Structure 1
């Protein structure tokens, strides 16, 4: 059964997402969504060497809402900074953030967080996964930014994945 459905929750999610994106419950969409949900996890299983193990789901739940709040707040902050860029141009900078997180799943989640929060961009990860190079749109204090980043995102991800 595990060979046919390597990730049943993922299969069900893909099927539901297909139906939601197409806004149709026609027989063709139901069948194609089910086929997509069945075949995609089977085809992509070799690309995922180890299954993710979430150790603290409550922390993951809280982190989800923290990131959501940060996305909203950062959108407003970046918009205001762009709006008044002539009077006070942003102080963009590259920041090297030392990492204690080394789990591949945690780093993938951290990359997604950096991507969705406006004002930050994941630029490079050291080969030994010890340092993350980030571009920050407007940086006041590098030390304070690093401490905030590690406390807000890295530490919860370490609790979840390591």
Structure 2
């Protein structure tokens, strides 16, 4: 006999809890529906879940989080000060083509998330072969320096973490 197991137990619990919170009722019917949703949704969509990423240097994650938080703070200040000045000296907004060395799908997803998290930057498009990404930068007067900083601050740590 084949044993049935939950593909994502934490997701099951979270879905059931979310169902009850959104329903704003713990009636027997809602509890039954919450349990069914918690059991069935992860099982039905298990084939769509990516394989578990392999984190090679977990302590590097903490340094990357610190860098991203610091950059977000500085970028917030830069965008705010530019808007307060009334765009008398407009920022050097541009689309930047950044060549990528990172190939890991999880690392690329995190790179996209980090880019979009930093105010003033936006991940626009990635080449089908994952060799180049197009970013919109709020203030990048020197494109070569922007690319070098981007690769050093975000891509290189993600390569150390995931590849």
Given that residues 3 and 42 in structure 1 are in contact (C-alpha distance below 8 angstroms), is that contact kept between their aligned partners in structure 2? no
Q: What residue number does 1:51 align with?
A: 52
Which one is further off, 31-40 or 127-136?
A: 31-40
Shift in alpha-carbon separation, 1:81–1:35, aligned structure 2, 3 A: farther
TM-score (norm 1): 0.80
Shift in alpha-carbon separation, 1:155–1:47, aligned structure 2, 3 A: same
Counterpart CA distance in 2 for 1:124 and 1:141 is: 21
Shift in alpha-carbon separation, 1:17–1:130, aligned structure 2, 3 A: farther
What do residues 92-114 of structure 1 show as CA deviations (whole Å, max 9, x unaligned)?
A: 10111010001111111111111
| Larger radius of gyration between Structure 1 and Structure 2 | 2
What do residues 71-111 of structure 1 show as CA deviations (whole Å, max 9, x unaligned)?
A: 22211111111222431011110111010001111111111
Q: What residue number does 1:148 align with?
A: 149
TM-score (norm 2): 0.80
Find the residue that maps to 1:160 and give its secondary structure.
helix
Given that residues 96 and 132 in structure 1 are in contact (C-alpha distance below 8 angstroms), is that contact kept between their aligned partners in structure 2? yes
Counterpart CA distance in 1 for 2:36 and 2:70 is: 36
Find the residue that maps to 2:5 and give its secondary structure.
coil
Q: What residue number does 1:160 align with?
A: 161
Counterpart CA distance in 2 for 1:154 and 1:75 is: 21
5+ long unaligned stretches in structure 1: none
Q: What residue number does 1:131 align with?
A: 132
Across the aligned residues of Structure 1 and Structure 2, the Cα RMSD in angstroms comes to 2.9
Counterpart CA distance in 1 for 2:115 and 2:15 is: 28
Q: How many residues align?
A: 159
1:69 CA displacement: 1.9
Given that residues 16 and 37 in structure 2 are in contact (C-alpha distance below 8 angstroms), is that contact kept between their aligned partners in structure 1? no
